[in-house]
Copies of this chain bind each other. A is one copy, B any other.
Amino acid sequence: MSYKRLGHQTVVFDNPPSIAAGGCVVGAKEGEGPLRMWFDSISEDSYFGQESWEKAESTMLYQSFITACDKARLAPSDVEYAFAGDLLNQCTGSSFAMRESSVPFFGLYGACSTFAEGLSLGAMLIDGGYADVCAAMSSSHFCSAERQFRQPLEYGGQRPPTAQWTVTGAGTVLLTAAGAGPYITHVTTGAIVDAGVKDANNMGACMAPAAYETLCAHFQDTGRSPDYYDAIITGDLGHVGHEILTDLFAQDGIDLGICSTDCGLLIYDRAAQDVHAGGSGAGCCSSVFSGHILQRMTRGDWPRVLFAPTGALMSPTTSMQGESIPGICHAIALDVKKEVRG
């Protein structure tokens, strides 16, 4: 087994890649939520100046990319690989965002976990010596997602309490070989976990078992316990999934602790914003991470973070065919200090 590997699912970096900058762009509803001060840009126009919501999503994602480049004082042409994905069929949100960029491009699909794939692969390519600058980016748009996955917006379908609200948001992080951090120190890559849940209006329940498995693997591979981290932030389990995850650990006698939260819980005020179980979408964890989480790390609130985006790997077709909904989760360990401690 390679010396860079700890256990079956985790790798540790010799030279932890640094996060040079994050860019995050969101819609009006997200801009009214508790994280409003952390976003780089909030658009009052759900079309982002375009003619369709699909083009809006690409525009928003590209804006987050350019914002991250500007903040890192890098030109787009300095980026050696872009890892990008979204929820639209054939991932066109990403490909149309980057089609004029000339950046070598790896398209990803991991549903709402996509951003974690990009962070993981980008970090490995930088630590491995293949690149000095990589972008990890993902997006979702409430309107493009609703009409693709559920109903036309005009239909006004009712949503059960377990449903989550697809975030209109995009986030890009630039990873660099040299930099002042925060650093990615470990990556734990998840396998697909299908616990047999079939309710497409309860994604949290579908994804929580995958989050549990990946976090367990991370703790086992690294020898760390949850209290090593100042914050453990899952992707977008929402209220229901977060409760299930907490319960699963409690059954093992492990208290995930008050530092455990979820991007889908952070992004909205559930009491005031009528989002039911919280936020979701591939742009949820990327927009929350690229603003809020990064800045809470650098200002000293959370020196050590375990970031674990989750995804539900079904489609409307598989659900109509009666299939259960497989979940996945990838965990990224971050530290404001480069030396791996503990």
Q: Which of A40-48, A185-193, A248-256, A285-293 contacts B (4 or more CB under 8 A)?
A: A185-193
Complex: A316 Cα to B105 Cα, angstroms: 21
Complex: A109 Cα to B2 Cα, angstroms: 28
CB 8 Å contact bits of A311-342 with B (1 = contact, 0 = none) = 00111111001010010100000000000000
Q: Which of A29-37, A117-125, A158-166, A224-232 contacts B (4 or more CB under 8 A)?
A: A117-125
Nearest chain-B residue to A217 (Cβ)? Answer: B104
Q: Which of A66-74, A126-134, A258-266, A302-310 contacts B (4 or more CB under 8 A)?
A: A126-134
| A11 within 8 A of partner (CB) | yes
| A92 within 8 A of partner (CB) | yes
Residues of B within 8 A of A220 (CB): none
A54 contacts which of B85, B125, B132, B318 (Cβ < 8 Å)?
B318
Q: Is the CB of B321 within 8 A of A192?
A: no
Residues of B within 8 A of A192 (CB): 95, 98-101, 105
Nearest chain-B residue to A177 (Cβ)? Answer: B2
Residues of B within 8 A of A313 (CB): 90-92, 95-96, 99, 107
Residues of B within 8 A of A191 (CB): 98, 101-105
Residues of B within 8 A of A51 (CB): 321
Count this chain's copies in the assembly: 2
Provided the pairs A3-B129, A192-B95, A313-B95 are in contact, do residues A107 and B110 lie with their beta carbons within 8 angstroms? yes
Complex: A114 Cα to B130 Cα, angstroms: 20
Provided the pairs A108-B106, A328-B105 are in contact, do residues A2 and B92 lie with their beta carbons within 8 angstroms? no
Residues of B within 8 A of A11 (CB): 130
| A194 within 8 A of partner (CB) | yes
Q: Is the CB of A317 within 8 A of B54?
A: yes
A:1-32 near B, CB below 8 Å: 1-5, 8-9, 11
Residues of A within 8 A of B (CB): 1-5, 8-9, 11, 51-52, 54-55, 80-81, 85, 87-92, 95-96, 98-111, 114, 117, 120-121, 124-125, 127-132, 148, 177, 189-194, 313-318, 321, 323, 326, 328
Given contacts A96-B318, A106-B120, 7 further A-B contacts (CB under 8 A): A2-B131, A52-B321, A95-B314, A99-B313, A105-B192, A105-B328, A128-B129
